[in-house]
Amino acid sequence: MTQLLLDADCLLEISPNEWPTLQNLYASKKTESIGYNLIKNYIEWIDKKLNLDVKCFTLDEDWRKDGTFIMIAKHGGILDYVYFNTLCDDLDRLIRLLHAFTTQTKASLNLYGYGQRLKPAVDDCIKKLGPKKFHESVETAWYKASKELVATFSTETPPGITLRKLEIEDAETVNELWPHHDKGTIKFVKHVIKNDLTIAACDSNGKLLAWCLRLPLGSLGLLQVLSSQKRLGLGSLMVRVLSKKIAEQNLDVFAPVVTENTPSRRMFEKLGFEKIDDIYWTLEEY
């Protein structure tokens, strides 16, 4: 471990060889949007020597008891993807860690996928830094489907539709049609396509019609259907097929859906997904 000296608190870096210890602290909290599955993914990617720029910080050795951490990943782009959590009911240590991290590092403040329970810590951070520092905050419903539910999903494909994994060549299309794409997100999209589970639907000519990816959180994400192909059931098909692939790893399936996206939420709920939390994505102005 290495320490970065700060004015009041110290940032203690948790080395990758200790991430399994951190992951195990969240073994009984697998429904948390940030925790077990996120750390699991980064451990696997680091083990594959993908040359990722990922670091994990905490305040002190008490992290071994309360799991308070911040993880920052760059994925080769200009954006910093910042994830954080704590097992403490009292958010004081997380607030201190966020304050130390945001004031003493040069990381951009793109706070990804944090749960409702952690929102007061972010609100405190925004209050101290000023709301003008952030240009967008997106609220999403956090849905869960158990492995048992997913086992009942049909993956029958409509006539004329073929399924395949997304390829790097698809990244530009996926990124362009992602409603929340921004500077540098293409690097993130390419990383996910290259290293995680994806699914795509194509027509008889091989044209890409719909797709879904698994995010670093371990959840479904970036679900998209071409406007000309909507209401044909392709979105539901993408969810069902990718959910099956995740469940094959003996994992429950999670999905963040923008709260205001009523049609998408209805689709997930029709499939049997249950809303278990609200999670937020707060992005820095730059």
Same domain, 255 and 151: yes
Q: Given 96, 129, 162, which residue is the final one in a domain?
A: 129
Sign of the alpha-carbon torsion through 88, 107, 100, 5: positive
Which pLDDT score, from 0 to 100, does residue 109 have?
72
71 and 16 within one domain: yes
HSE toward the beta carbon, residue 123, CA cutoff 13 A: 7
pLDDT for 231 equals: 78
Whole-number pLDDT of residue 135: 62
42 three-state secondary structure: helix
Helix, strand, coil share (%) of the chain residues, nearest 5: 35, 25, 35
* Total domains present in the chain: 2
Tell me what pLDDT residue 12 has. Answer: 95
- pLDDT on residue 3: 47
Q: What is the pLDDT of residue 6?
A: 40
What pLDDT is recorded for position 70?
97
What tokens were used for 261?
């996206």
Place of tokens 């995680």: 196
* CATH code, domain with 151: 3.40.630.30
| 75 and 10 assigned to the same domain | yes
Provide the b/e sequence for 39-58 (b: ≥16 CB within 10 Å): bbbbbebeeeeeebebbbbb
User: Does some domain include residue 284?
Assistant: no
Indicate whether 124 and 160 sit together in one domain: no
- Give the pLDDT score at 76: 62
- Reduce the DSSP state of residue 215 to 3 states and report it: coil
User: Which residues of the chain have a pLDDT value below 70?
Assistant: 1-8, 76-79, 131-135, 285-286
| 254 token code pair | 């999670």
186 within a domain of the structure (yes/no):
yes
Residues 6+ apart with CB under 8 A from 141: 256, 257, 258, 259, 265, 275, 277, 278
In a domain, 200, yes or no: yes
Same domain, 123 and 225: no
Tell me what pLDDT residue 208 has. 96
Domain that holds residue 25: 3-129
The answer to whether residue 69 is domain-embedded is yes
Residue 137, in any domain of the structure: no
In a 3-state reduction of DSSP, which class is residue 70?
strand
Residue 138 inside a domain? The answer is no
**258 vs 138, 183, 206, CA distance in Å?**
7, 21, 29
